């Protein structure tokens, strides 16, 4: 009887583990959902990876698309629903450090468009200015209907930034020819 109960317990545990593996992915200790809902559409996990600075893991990032792709140019130029999810994994990350990192990323990504985007970049950074703690989750979701980036922090909408050109520069931070982290780019593309 004990053996039967042990086998049943083991089978149930394995079954629940398989279900969890189908709905989530573990990346550097962070549970990343395989799908997210946005604008009444299901976006699928394209890829995920960790961002490190000076041997310190600072966040885990995931890319969600309505159409999976390993082509960074296609993703940047796509005018479809997509999202970036960033979960902070270090107490060393502050809003000041995050916005400085965004500045560097936009400088690499925007190129000659940087000055035209500057007012919207500054607006975007205000949505990241609240105190940041470990396990905070940011979702940067693109809505093609009004061509806005919607900035969520812990599922609360902080604000919107207008423009397809802004969307391209934002996603380009991680996916352009000059990404902030080449290894993270490959992880986001599922390569």
Question: What's the confidence (pLDDT) of residue 54?
Answer: 60
Mean pLDDT, residues 83-93? 89
Calpha distance 170→135 (Å, rounded)? 22
Percentage of residues in the chain having pLDDT higher than 70: 84
Residue bearing tokens 């394995």: 14
What mean pLDDT value characterizes the chain? 86
Distance (Å) of CA 30 to CA 18, 90, 140, 185, 189: 17, 12, 18, 18, 18
pLDDT tens-place string over residues 129-166:
999 999 999 999 999 999 999 999 999 999 999 999 99
pLDDT tens-place string over residues 103-127:
999 999 998 999 999 999 999 999 9
Whole-prediction pTM value?
A: 0.84
């Amino acid at each position: 009887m004990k053996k039967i109960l042990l086998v049943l317990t083991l089978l149930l545990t394995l079954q629940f583990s398989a279900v969890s593996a189908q709905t989530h992915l573990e990346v550097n200790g962070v549970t990343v959902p395989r799908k997210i809902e946005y604008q009444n559409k299901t976006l699928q996990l394209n890829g995920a990876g960790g961002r490190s600075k000076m041997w310190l893991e600072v966040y885990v990032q995931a890319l969600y698309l309505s159409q999976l792709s390993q082509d960074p140019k296609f993703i940047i130029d796509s005018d479809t629903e997509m999202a970036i999810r960033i979960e902070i994994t270090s107490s060393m990350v502050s809003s000041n450090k995050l916005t400085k990192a965004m500045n560097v990323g936009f400088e690499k990504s925007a190129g000659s468009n940087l000055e035209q985007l500057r007012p919207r970049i500054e607006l975007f950074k205000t949505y990241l200015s609240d105190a940041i703690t470990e396990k905070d989750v940011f979702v940067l979701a693109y809505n093609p209907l009004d061509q806005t980036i919607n900035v969520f922090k812990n599922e609360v909408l902080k604000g919107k930034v207008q423009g397809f050109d802004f969307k391209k520069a934002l996603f380009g931070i991680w996916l352009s020819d000059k990404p902030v982290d080449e290894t993270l780019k490959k992880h986001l593309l599922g390569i």
